[in-house]
Amino acid sequence: MSTQPNNPAQTSGVAPAQPRFGRMDLAMDRVVDGINRSVSWLLGQQDEEGYWCGELEADSMLEADYIYMHTLLGTGDRGKMERCINEILRHQNADGGWSLYPGGPSNVNYGVKCYLALKLMGWSAEHPVLIRARENVLSLGGVTECNTFTKIYLCSLGQYDYDAVPAVPPELILFPNWCYFNIYELSSWSRGILVPLTVLYAKKPLKKLPAEQGIDELFVGGRANANLHLRYDTKKLFSWRNLFLLFDRIFHWAERIHIRPLRKRALKRVEEWLLARFEMSDGLGAIYPAMLNAIVALRYLGYSADDPQVIRAMDEFEKLGIDCPEGTPEYPTPTFRMQPCFSPVWDTAQVLSTLGEAGVSRTDPRLLKAADWLLSKEVRHKGDWAEKVKNVEPGGWYFEFNNEFYPDVDDTGEVLLGLKAVQNPRERYQHDVEQRAINWVLAMQCKNGGWAAFDKDNTKKIFQYVPFADHNAMLDPPTVDITGRILEMLSAYGYNRTDKRIEAAVQFMLKEQEPDGSWFGRWGVNYLYGTFLVLRGLESVGLSYLETPVQQAAEWIRMVQNPDGGWGETCGTYDDPDQKGVGPSTPSQTAWALLGLLAANDTRSDSVAKGIRWLIERQHEGGDWDELMPGRNGESYYTGTGFPRVFYLGYHLYKQYFPLLALTTYKKALEREQLEA
């Protein structure tokens, strides 16, 4: 007869349910049961190699660009491309357009790209779907309102004029590092996208489409009557925008009469730069747009379709796809969708640290396996960050499976928190890895005391006026959400406010607080994310919960709680801050709010009680939560931020490990109060 326990708490290493205590209307045994079921669910999702990796969901631009790339290169699986169309249609708004996130307003770039994708797959302009899409695009100003990236893609298919798009010359890569405008002053993601894009601009590929696949009808008044060129700022004659536009027109003039003496050298340098960054990486930057541009760049640099570099780059790109030829329970139509990248290091670190907080044994073999997997992903080579940060040994972690050139501070901080959850038999080895990573993080601290994601002091705002910077993601400035996480991590390793670097970070965060008490969230949606991470960071380094900034933040969180007891916030708050804290309740954002309140020592308010009850009542029997939007074909709320106002993400595991962390933190807070009573 089996002697295995039936209680998931015992199999997972979490303490069994305790008697009720705390508020009369909160049964602690229900909280403990919810924790145990969540722990069991998460452990059941672990890959046999030791990592966790939830799906990373994004918008339909990815499927549209997938069709574009394969059409341009004459490649691709027709069946997958047809299923891409079904995925695009799944996300179409009622007004005919497509948005940056489910439930958001229609976006002209996405409308143009999705419309073009449908036509490339043979759809007629008179199809009712395209009629509605066309009306929406025209209402938003038509093709001329699109950004540079979209326009260059259109140029390669003969749907826009190269002379009318901002110049993205490969000569940019020749600027030395001491030059104010060198490429390492751009954000790492812009660098990865723009460097291969310079090849498209230089080579100016042109694949002529049949007339019926053209999109002239998306130009207000028709393409023949449209003013395609960028417009000067008429309100302010002397401005950085006008100056850069003047230089842009001069460059176009030189391009037309073939004055480009450094072009051959520049393209060679671009090629070398790309090939170097393919190594130890799952494609350029291991992110979708850079990978796509790199494939196209290789082909127009003369690499054949059967060249090993092209095959490898294409294979890594195709791995991002999720093929559902039978559909899904939420949306039974066959679809093929693309992920913007993979998130195994991030998810594994978050799950590991959360399971440790939940009481899973530090010697549990599943946690040790996860820790060893993370240790195997340590960065040991210098990447782009080393162009500005000298004399520090490589260390830290990236976001994806392999992306050696682009470790980031946020992942590194979370991995270090995760490693605290285990007692590793390789104690000395893990200690050495941790110390290298901490030294690297400290070297990456910016002048103002905060930390950014990939680079140090990447803050030159002048780049926002460059004509091709209209994707609004040129810089990687320090942010309070990352800084809060780093303070929490450094505190776990013994650092405190007596260290000048810690105090500088505290002062940076306090200076960034909004008048209403909240903090902006750069990498999660939005003020709920920023506020909870700042409060946890401040708590970890000993800032009293009685301090005014902490109490103001807690009061703001309580003020924006929804009547149902949960919290929610939409991506639209990046466009309209007046809507901060407003949105349908979601498990991840409710967890963030609770974690913020608990960090402010609020354990007994009605807000906390209602929030905990909201999480418990919406947990599924199997231990998980969902964030599905009602009536939206299986679409979920997006609570992750790629680039504010540009690109948003749905992390499928956010709604699992953050609620678990909130329940665990609540339970431990009440236990601590009992001991102190």
Query: Which residues, 6+ apart, have CB-to-CB distance to 272 below 8 Å?
Result: none
Closest CA to 26 of 567, 619, 600, 610: 610
At 203, which helix (H) or strand (E)? helix 188-203
Query: Which residues, 6+ apart, have CB-to-CB distance to 435 below 8 Å?
Result: none
Residues in the chain: 677
C-beta neighbour count of 384 within 10 angstroms: 21
> Are the C-beta atoms of 178 and 257 separated by less than 8 Å?
no
410 in active site: yes
Q: What is the DSSP letter of 305?
A: T
Q: What b/e string do you get for 629-638 counting C-beta neighbours within 10 Å, with b at 16 or more?
A: eeeebbbbbb
> Are the C-beta atoms of 351 and 42 separated by less than 8 Å?
yes
Cα–Cα distance between 469 and 185 in angstroms, integer? 13
At 392, which helix (H) or strand (E)? none
**Catalytic one among 59, 65, 410, 602?**
410
User: What is each CA distance from 153 to 148, 347, 617, in whole angstroms?
Assistant: 9, 33, 48
Cα–Cα distance between 389 and 391 in angstroms, integer? 7
What residue has token string 């929406």? Answer: 136
Cα–Cα distance between 305 and 54 in angstroms, integer? 32
Query: Which residues, 6+ apart, have CB-to-CB distance to 37 below 8 Å?
Result: 8, 619, 621, 622, 623
Residue type, 512: E
Cα–Cα distance between 28 and 352 in angstroms, integer? 24
Closest CA to 194 of 273, 309, 87: 273
Cα–Cα distance between 53 and 374 in angstroms, integer? 12
β-strands 335-338, 321-324: how paired?
antiparallel
If DSSP codes are grouped into helix, strand and coil, which group holds residue 643? strand
At 176, which helix (H) or strand (E)? none
At 194, which helix (H) or strand (E)? helix 188-203
Cα–Cα distance between 262 and 285 in angstroms, integer? 26
Side-chain-side CA neighbours of residue 673 (13 Å): 14
What residue has token string 């924790």? Answer: 35
User: What is each CA distance from 251 to 158, 166, 167, 248, 328, in whole angstroms?
Assistant: 21, 10, 7, 5, 50
Q: What is the DSSP string of 484-502?
A: HHHHHHHHHTT--TTSHHH
The 3-class secondary structure across 3-66, one letter per residue, is CCCCCHHHHHCCCCCCCCCCCCCCCHHHHHHHHHHHHHHHHHCCCCCCCCCCCEECCCHHHHHH
Strand boundaries in 551-675, DSSP class E: 640-643, 647-651
| Active site positions, annotated | 410
